[in-house]
Structure 1
């Protein structure tokens, strides 16, 4: 499901069962992330799928990329794999107005 920036952030703040999934590349990740995000680069192909298989499908996944295209694709893949609650950040990280942190090296 696509959510606006405002709805994605407000829903995330109220969700105690949330996982934030960043599907950008490692280079993009190093430029800043939404706090508590987990990296799983969609461009890694089968490795991306393997990492999804390790996730708990009962959690709620808030997925983002740079502009919203890759994360929409990731949500579709996750839904096919049995993840019921995936939320795509419309407009992606480049339009994010919420908190940003830099990942530990």
Structure 2
């Protein structure tokens, strides 16, 4: 489901089963992330699928990329793999005005 930044962030704050998923490249990830995110690069192809398969499909996934296109694709793929709930951040990091931190090494 594509949702606005405000809705995405407010849902995330109230969600005890939330997982924040960043599907950008390692280079993009290194420039700053939404706090608490995990990174699985959608450009890894089959490796992306394998990594998704290791996640708990019963959790709620808050997915983002740079602009919203890759995360939209990721949400579609996740739906096909049996993930019940995914939220795509419209506009991605390019339009994000919430908190940003550098990932820990």
Pair in the same fold by TM > 0.5: yes
For normalisation by structure 2, the TM-score amounts to 0.99
Give the aligned partner of residue 58 of structure 1: 58
- RMSD after superposition: 0.4
3-state secondary structure, aligned to 1:88: strand
Moved over 2 A (4+): none
What is the deviation of 1:36? 0.4
What is the deviation of 1:104? 1.3
For normalisation by structure 1, the TM-score amounts to 0.99
Measured in 2, the distance between the counterparts of 1:83 and 1:100 equals 26
Measured in 2, the distance between the counterparts of 1:58 and 1:27 equals 29
Matches within 5 A, 1:1-105: 1-105=1-105
What is the deviation of 1:14? 0.4
Measured in 1, the distance between the counterparts of 2:83 and 2:104 equals 28
Instruction: Give deviations 1:31-83, integer Å, cap 9, x for gaps.
Output: 00000000000000010000000000000000000000000000000000000
Measured in 1, the distance between the counterparts of 2:22 and 2:95 equals 14
5+ unaligned residues in a row in structure 2: which ranges?
none
Q: How many residues align?
A: 105
5+ unaligned residues in a row in structure 1: which ranges?
none
